[in-house]
Amino acid sequence: MYGRLPIVKMIAATLALTAAISAVMLSINWNGQEASTAAPKIDDLLNVMIVLSSFVFSLVMVMLGYALWKFKAKPGDESDGEPIHGNTRLEVAWTLIPTIIVLFGAGYSWKVLNDIEAPAKDPLIVDVFSQQYTWSFGYPEQGMAYVKGEFHVPVNRQIAFKMHSGDVIHSFWVPEWRIKKDNVPGITTTALVTPDKVGTYQLVCTELCGFGHAAMRAKVVVEPPQKFKEWVSGLKETIPPDWRATIKQDTETNPIEEIGAGGA
């Protein structure tokens, strides 16, 4: 038989390798600037997942390395390997450890999602209209004000973005906010974001939607409430009729027939 595995040494090696990999991985700023209340929660979640993944990777590498070194065939040994029938302790361990990790990850992610999707009392509604390959925006509570290619929002207030598409699936993504949401023809999807840093950002389409996908962007301005009010009341256009029809569409849980749209 194989004798006892040097369990303590293997655990120590696994933890050391986990620490080394995590130190490198966590030193990288994967997602860039944080500019919404959701961003730090999502980044923390990502960091925890990086450490857990490093642990699993390290555990496998240490066990693989040990097996390669310890059980290497001697030169000239042409005999078959020992027939082995199960190892209860090992099987319990390799079932239990991943189960605990996955359940922890599920619970933690659930909590984060619950936190960042908690609706505020008085969100500002902004309609997001997408079509190949432009973005436009409507403010239903501000006299149906309408603007193309750029939108402003006040800082430190929850924004309820209502997503609409006139043709194919597009996806709304402001990297500094971390939130992504698909714009799907025929239904209205919603993304809640509370921007917490004044600044200028970029809205990126993050669903391959055709030839001009890479250029489908819009300017995002987060500003103090007073400046936002001035900007929105200065808008001349109102939401075109086709897009207005999409506002009445139902949500993803209860879709209705697709309504043709397109401001162009």
Q: How far is the CB of 259 from ligand CUA (least distance, A)?
A: 19
Interaction of residue 164 with ligand CUA, rule CB under 6 A: no
Number of residues that bind ligand CUA (CB under 6 A): 9
Burial category of 57 from C-beta neighbours within 10 Å (exposed 0-12, middle 13-18, buried 19 and up): middle
Across the strands, what pairs with 170?
183
Interaction of residue 213 with ligand CUA, rule CB under 6 A: yes
Site for ligand CUA in 119-138 (CB under 6 A): 130, 133
Q: How far is the CB of 209 from ligand CUA (least distance, A)?
A: 3
Across the strands, what pairs with 205?
172
> Of how many residues is the chain composed?
264
Q: How far is the CB of 207 from ligand CUA (least distance, A)?
A: 5
Residue 255's alpha-carbon distances to 106, 130, 188, in angstroms, are: 28, 18, 8
Half-sphere exposure of 79 (CA within 13 A, CB side): 7
Site for ligand CUA in 52-111 (CB under 6 A): none
DSSP calls for 5-24: --HHHHHHHHHHHHHHHHHH
Determine how β-strand 150-154 pairs with β-strand 217-223: parallel
User: Which one of residues 209, 218, 222, 232 is an interface residue with ligand CUA (CB under 6 A)?
Assistant: 209
User: Which one of residues 205, 218, 220, 239 is an interface residue with ligand CUA (CB under 6 A)?
Assistant: 205
Site for ligand CUA in 214-233 (CB under 6 A): 216
Rg (CA), the chain: 26
Half-sphere exposure of 72 (CA within 13 A, CB side): 7
Interaction of residue 148 with ligand CUA, rule CB under 6 A: no
Nearer to ligand CUA, 170 or 178 (CB): 170
> What's the token pair of residue 210?
């055709």
Nearer to ligand CUA, 116 or 261 (CB): 261
> Does residue 58 sit in helix, strand or coil?
helix
Taking the C-alpha atoms of residue 172 and residue 261, their distance in angstroms, rounded to an integer, is 18
Binding mask 165-204 for ligand CUA (x = CB under 6 A): -----x----------------------------------
Nearer to ligand CUA, 157 or 217 (CB): 217
Binding stretches for ligand CUA (CB under 6 A): 130, 133, 170, 205, 207-209, 213, 216
